[in-house]
């Protein structure tokens, strides 16, 4: 990541499994001298700000680029037992299993911009969600790290716990926006009334049960996703960073000059972050695909044609999916979700790390200037 050099000594590499894969704001390193100086210069308040704004900005970029994939995924998952807008036929939207066919039918029926349906609640949810996630991840990691031996690396179970708790908190706080997003994308409600108006309408008709519908499968999806992704991301990034370390390259090929210029170092760290995010996103997405289908069905159940399905529990929803489509039903919409999650995870972390690095550098320089002025005064 941006705050970590790829040219590390052997003693540095042995201090922490996440040492080569840390964001400056994620306290996974045990470098006491530099870390203490950096913490004093920037401060925990500035680190929290960097976490939030970096996370929110990366979430915004990811959402704008990848929203069409989410719309296609939702349409593929909603099945054939739901009431939709009169402008959309069940045959066109719900029958095709090919993502390209679904996307084409959406464009033919309601225009190309309907691929960005639900963008507003998605942007708000993702920006706030990613921001809350990174801030809570930083705080929880701090607590877990300092609860053990500071001279040893943070064990895998703590890494999993930090990621899972952070995502669960974010998912719970922003579940109403997730419900709205899914219903916009499925085109079961009119988005012209605005986000606030739609939330009020959901509350009037369904109370809190409607606003938080699908919360349990959302947490069961997001917590394992975040936990497994965070662990895989750090481990893959550690391995890749070690692989491109100039010291290791020199050992493998003594005649090869493996020193990097600043621009090359920057490009390599960005590439390592992107690849690690891609691998982590793919693995975590596969593990949580069934939960995503269940979540979508739960959030749309109030629009089911069959009255009994409108009050279906989680277990009844699972049973219904299996009876209708078998095991393959739990992987409907998998391909667009794979692309969205993998690319989104990679883009989000890459932008996040770059933003945090720039933010920390600017704050550090500002603090140093203020310190110099104070000394001269």
At 144-169, the pLDDT tens digits run 877 765 545 677 788 778 877 888 88
What average pLDDT does range 43-67 have in this prediction? 75
* Closest to 175 (Cα-Cα) out of 145, 212, 204, 216: 212
pLDDT grade, residue 257 (50/70/90)?
A: low
At 293-313, the pLDDT tens digits run 999 888 888 877 777 777 788
pLDDT at 81: 56
Residue 141 has pLDDT above 70, yes or no: yes
At 311-328, the pLDDT tens digits run 788 898 899 889 888 888
Quick one: tokens of 200? 């009020």
Residue 21 has pLDDT above 60, yes or no: no
| Residue 70 · residue 123 · CB < 8 Å | no
Domains and CATH numbers, the chain: 43-364 (1.50.40.10)
Q: What is the 3-state secondary structure (H, E, C) of 208-232?
A: HHHHCCCHHHHHHHHHHHHHHHHHH
Q: Pick the residue with more confidence: 344 or 15?
A: 344
pLDDT at 36: 47
- Give the Å distances, CA to CA, from 206 to 148, 176, 200: 45, 12, 10
Classify burial at 252, counting beta carbons within 10 Å of its beta carbon; exposed 0-12, middle 13-18, buried 19 or more: exposed
Most confident of 5-19, 140-154, 194-208: 194-208
Residue 251 has pLDDT above 60, yes or no: no
| Residue 64 · residue 351 · CB < 8 Å | no
pLDDT at 18: 32
* Closest to 228 (Cα-Cα) out of 322, 177, 161: 161
At 273-291, the pLDDT tens digits run 788 888 888 888 888 899 9
Classify burial at 297, counting beta carbons within 10 Å of its beta carbon; exposed 0-12, middle 13-18, buried 19 or more: buried
Which residues on neighbouring strands pair with residue 304, listed in sequence order?
82
pLDDT at 176: 92
Quick one: tokens of 357? 């690095």
pLDDT at 212: 92
Handedness of CA 107, 111, 116, 121 (dihedral sign): negative
- The C-alpha atoms of residue 290 and residue 298 are separated, in whole angstroms, by 12
pLDDT at 375: 67
| Residue 28 · residue 154 · CB < 8 Å | yes
pTM over 0.85: no
Measured over all CA atoms, what is the biggest interatomic distance in the chain, rounded to whole angstroms? Answer: 77
At 342-351, the pLDDT tens digits run 777 778 777 8
pLDDT at 310: 77
DSSP 256: S
- The C-alpha atoms of residue 72 and residue 259 are separated, in whole angstroms, by 45
pLDDT at 290: 92
């Amino acid at each position: 990541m941006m705050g970590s050099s790829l040219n590390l000594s052997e003693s540095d590499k042995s201090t922490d499994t996440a040492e080569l894969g840390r964001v400056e704001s994620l306290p996974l390193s045990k470098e006491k001298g530099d870390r203490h100086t950096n913490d004093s210069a920037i401060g925990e308040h500035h680190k929290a700000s960097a976490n939030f704004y970096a996370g929110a900005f990366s979430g915004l970029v990811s959402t704008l680029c990848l929203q069409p994939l989410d719309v296609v995924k939702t349409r593929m998952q909603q099945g054939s037992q739901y009431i939709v807008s009169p402008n959309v036929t069940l045959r066109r939207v719900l029958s095709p299993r090919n993502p390209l066919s679904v996307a084409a039918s959406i464009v033919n029926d309601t225009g190309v911009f309907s691929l960005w349906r639900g963008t507003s609640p998605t942007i708000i949810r993702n920006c706030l969600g990613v921001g809350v996630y990174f801030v809570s991840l930083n705080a929880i990691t701090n607590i877990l790290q300092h609860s053990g031996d500071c001279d040893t690396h943070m064990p895998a179970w703590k890494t999993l716990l930090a990621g899972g708790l952070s995502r669960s908190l974010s998912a719970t706080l922003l579940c109403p926006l997730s419900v709205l997003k899914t219903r916009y994308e499925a085109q079961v409600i009119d988005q012209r009334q605005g986000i606030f108006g739609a939330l009020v309408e959901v509350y009037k008709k369904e109370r809190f049960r409607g606003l938080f519908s699908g919360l349990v499968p959302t947490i069961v999806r997001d917590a394992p996703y975040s936990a497994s992704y965070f662990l895989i991301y750090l481990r893959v990034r550690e391995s890749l960073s070690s692989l491109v370390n100039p010291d290791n390259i020199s050992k493998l090929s003594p005649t090869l000059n493996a020193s990097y210029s600043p621009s090359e170092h920057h490009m390599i760290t960005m590439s390592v972050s992107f690849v690690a995010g891609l691998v982590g996103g793919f693995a975590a997405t596969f593990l949580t695909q069934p939960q995503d289908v269940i979540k979508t069905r739960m959030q749309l159940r109030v629009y089911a044609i069959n009255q009994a399905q409108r009050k279906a529990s989680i277990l009844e929803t699972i049973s219904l999916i299996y009876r209708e489509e078998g095991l393959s039903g739990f992987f409907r919409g998998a391909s667009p979700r794979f692309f969205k999650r993998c690319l989104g995870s990679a883009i989000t972390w890459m932008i996040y790390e770059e933003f945090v690095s720039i933010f920390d550098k600017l704050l550090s320089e500002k603090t140093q200037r203020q310190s110099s002025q104070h000394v001269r005064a």
